[in-house]
């Protein structure tokens, strides 16, 4: 198995809100191996973005983060601001959801890429500008030397997301975190952006974490999947086994709610995501789970190997076999 570049252990993130502490991430364990594309799926509020913002050290100061995040042997939780700065953008970089607002409107594209280069490499302004143009070319922007002199408002949404990717890969990071990179884009543009990400991953051997709520996107590009619910991992495994025989009822629900050819009606998961100010006891999904029993309200289930998947469901073995969604 490939070397693990990012290891997250028992990560907790709590925000102090006026209505009390809100634990958005409640003990996440997660590994990313070099060169792989890990999909992280979950609905809004499941803690997927917060997990990786905490990894980047980009959460506001009022967020309390505990646990361990090791990046190539370096502990990031509790690291000094200076250490974090030297990691951010160099070993670990991030693509954000909305390309329309992720770029600074008053600086030229070339400068915004060059700034990333010069912050971690000892490059002259001229060299950085040249490299910025190469990067624009890599992410598939035509006429890169002209485009580098333009401002973000002169780019379309898809082109801006390419620029954001160019910034993120400027220093050839070990791990690239893509936080819903296609959510704000048209379907046709989505496919192009995913291609760019895949191309970068293959060309530079970058490990990619693709955060999304779109299982279709995951099915297309991911090697492994991690399903999150209410700040916990509920299931993880390879893309094939997860789509072929999902064990966790939440994963099954997600897959069953996807539109597929030949299927007349979509089957939604009933109910709503839990209020994280006051999460349900035990398995947070028991309030919406068709298989829930009294045992589910007791303890927080941990990930347990179940076939070739790891599933956090105490009743996983008793459940009827799922249909295949492969």
Q: Which residues bind another protein (CB under 8 A)?
A: 56, 58, 81, 84-90, 93-94, 96, 98, 101-107, 115-116, 119-120, 151, 153, 164, 167-168
Residue 232 · residue 313 · CB < 8 Å: no
Query: Nearer Cβ to another protein, position 100 or 300?
Result: 100
Whether the CB-CB separation of 33 and 4 falls below 8 Å is answered with yes
What DSSP assignment string belongs to 132-144? HHHHHHHTT-SSH
Question: What minimum distance in Å lies between the beta carbon of 81 and another protein?
Answer: 7
Of 160 and 245, which has the nearer Cβ to another protein?
Answer: 160
Shortest distance in whole angstroms from residue 162 CB to another protein: 14
Q: Give min distance, CB of 283 to another protein, in A.
A: 33
C-beta closer to another protein: residue 135 or 283: 135
Rank residues 79 and 295 by Cβ distance to another protein and give the closer one.
79
Q: What angle do CA 215, 139, 53 make, to 5 degrees?
A: 55
CA dist., res. 46 & res. 225, Å (int): 15
Judged by beta carbon, residue 47 or residue 114, the one nearer another protein is 114
Output the six-digit token pair for 314: 């105490």
* Nearest-10 Cα torsion for 185, 167, 50, 66: 170
| CB-count burial class (<10 Å; 0-12, 13-18, 19+) for 304 | middle
Triad 213, 218, 224: Cα angle to 5°:
115
């Amino acid at each position: 198995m490939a070397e693990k570049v990012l290891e997250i252990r028992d990560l907790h993130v709590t925000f102090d809100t006026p209505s009390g502490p809100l634990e958005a991430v409640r003990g996440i364990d997660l590994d990313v191996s070099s060169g792989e594309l890990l999909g992280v799926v979950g609905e809004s509020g499941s803690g997927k973005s917060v997990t990786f913002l905490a990894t980047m050290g980009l959460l506001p100061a009022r967020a309390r983060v505990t646990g361990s995040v090791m990046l190539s042997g370096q502990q990031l939780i509790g690291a000094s601001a200076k250490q974090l700065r030297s990691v951010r953008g160099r070993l670990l970089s991030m693509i954000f959801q909305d390309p329309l607002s992720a770029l600074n409107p008053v600086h030229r594209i070339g400068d915004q890429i060059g700034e990333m280069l010069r912050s971690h490499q000892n490059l002259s302004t001229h060299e950085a500008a040249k490299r910025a143009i190469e990067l624009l070319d890599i992410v598939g922007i035509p006429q890169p030397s002209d485009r580098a002199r333009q401002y973000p408002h002169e780019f379309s949404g898809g082109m801006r997301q390419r620029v954001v990717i160019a910034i993120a890969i400027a220093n050839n990071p070990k791990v690239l975190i893509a936080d819903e990179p296609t959510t704000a884009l048209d379907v046709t543009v989505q496919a192009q952006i995913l291609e760019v990400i895949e191309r970068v991953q293959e060309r530079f051997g970058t490990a990619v974490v693709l955060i999304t709520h779109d299982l279709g996107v995951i099915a297309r590009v991911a090697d492994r999947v991690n399903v999150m619910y209410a700040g916990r991992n509920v299931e993880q495994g390879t893309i094939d086994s997860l789509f072929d025989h999902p064990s966790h009822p939440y994963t099954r629900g997600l897959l069953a709610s996807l539109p597929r050819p030949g299927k007349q009606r979509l089957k939604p998961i009933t109910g709503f995501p839990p209020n994280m100010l006051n999460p349900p006891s035990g398995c947070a999904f028991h309030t919406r789970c068709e298989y829930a029993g009294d045992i589910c309200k007791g303890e927080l289930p941990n990930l347990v190997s179940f076939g070739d998947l790891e599933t956090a469901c105490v009743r996983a073995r008793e459940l009827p076999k799922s249909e295949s969604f492969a």
